[in-house]
Amino acid sequence: MTRVAVLFGGISAEREVSLSSGRQVIAALAEQGFEVIPVPVTRDLKALVTALTEPRPDVVFNALHGRYGEDGCIQGILEWLELPYTHSGVRASALAMDKAAAKAAFAAAGLPVAKGCVVPIAALEAEDPLPLPYVVKPLNEGSSVGVHILREGCNGRAEIARNWRHGTVAIAEEYVPGRELTVGVLGDTPLAVTDITALAGGGFYDYEAKYGAGGSRHIVPAAIHPRAYGEALEIARAAHAALGCRGATRADFRYDDTGGEPGRLVLLELNTQPGLTPTSLLPEQAAYRGIGFSALCRWMVEQAACGG
């Protein structure tokens, strides 16, 4: 019987999301007949290494989210221990988590990205780095943690800068009106396009809208122009390849259809550790393609690798 260690929890701002993903994955893998070893991750690195060596699992299922879980850190530890693990490797994980580096890679691959710049927080406090409206977000957080939209007439920029808790720099990007879309990819196969409407968070797809019950409405397949639908699938596949990802990823887009369809697609980022919670998007798209949640988790285990 294959022994699978499931890493969940962690020490990032997304700990609660990871705990939810981990609980789902543990149940799913047990249902699939694996011997499951739950490994709650804390700041105790020695305890983590011990849990992964005594006894030694056959595969590690990485259900961590956010910093240290999807930025190449835990992947490096697993490489050191020579343990096969799910999702992307060290390089792809680090690239995807660094929004500026990922954006540069996407642009080099000819993919559509938002106009913007990296801005020191002190400079943000002093003046607007872009014409309003624009978006400010952390360089290396996920789940919309720390994201702010500054609209016409907004005077909260200096307060945002003074209360910033996500490093010494931020990313400022043009605000793209329209819809929020996402595309999951398994291996080199894009699954579907989901249209997301936030019902919480004042219409912004923030942490509450993503993970709260009833926080958002997901329409899959998205009711958009067929040409835009096909382009979104291809861009997600190309973004996955551009960063050298493996396993499952999820590409997030803005789709500006305010001037009519087909509209303008803008790739925002690529998530190498898509959520596996009861409200998450990747499992929903997999189900649309006929892949149940436990089968999806099995597929991830089967794709686990060490190296890269």
Considering the candidates 157, 179, 246, 250, report the single residue annotated as catalytic. 250
Q: Considering 146, 275, 284, 298, which one is annotated as catalytic?
A: 275
Q: Would you call 82 helix, strand, or coil by DSSP?
A: coil
Q: State both tokens at 177.
A: 């009106």
Q: Is 14 a catalytic residue?
A: yes
**Helix (H) or strand (E) run with residue 268 in it:** strand 264-271
Measured CA distances, 219 to 71, 179, 252, 298 (Å): 30, 12, 15, 26
Identify the H or E element spanning 296. Answer: helix 293-302
Confirm whether 88 is a catalytic residue: no
Residue in 14, 70, 71, 231 annotated catalytic: 14
Contact 123, 129 (CB under 8 A): yes
- Quick check: 237 and 258 in contact, CB under 8 A? no
Catalytic residue among 157, 269, 280, 298: 269
206 catalytic per annotation: no
Rounded Cα distance between 51 and 8, Å, is 13
How far, in Å, are 20, 157, 213, 231, 276 from residue 185 at the CA level?
A: 21, 36, 25, 14, 14
Tell me, yes or no, if 250 is annotated catalytic: yes
Rounded to a whole number of angstroms, the CA Rg of the chain reads 19
Per annotation, catalytic residue among 143, 144, 216, 280: 143
Q: State yes or no: is 155 an active-site residue.
A: no
> Is 182:251 a contact under the CB 8 Å cutoff?
yes
Longest Cα pair distance anywhere in the chain, in angstroms?
Answer: 61
Q: Is 143 a catalytic residue?
A: yes
| Candidates 85, 134, 211, 229; catalytic one | 211
| Catalytic-residue membership of 294 | no
Point out the catalytic residue in the list 252, 254, 284, 298. 252
Query: Among the options 62, 93, 140, 271, which is catalytic?
Result: 271
| Distance separating the N- and C-terminal Cα atoms of the chain | 26
The residues annotated as belonging to the active site are: 14, 143, 211, 250, 252, 269, 271, 275
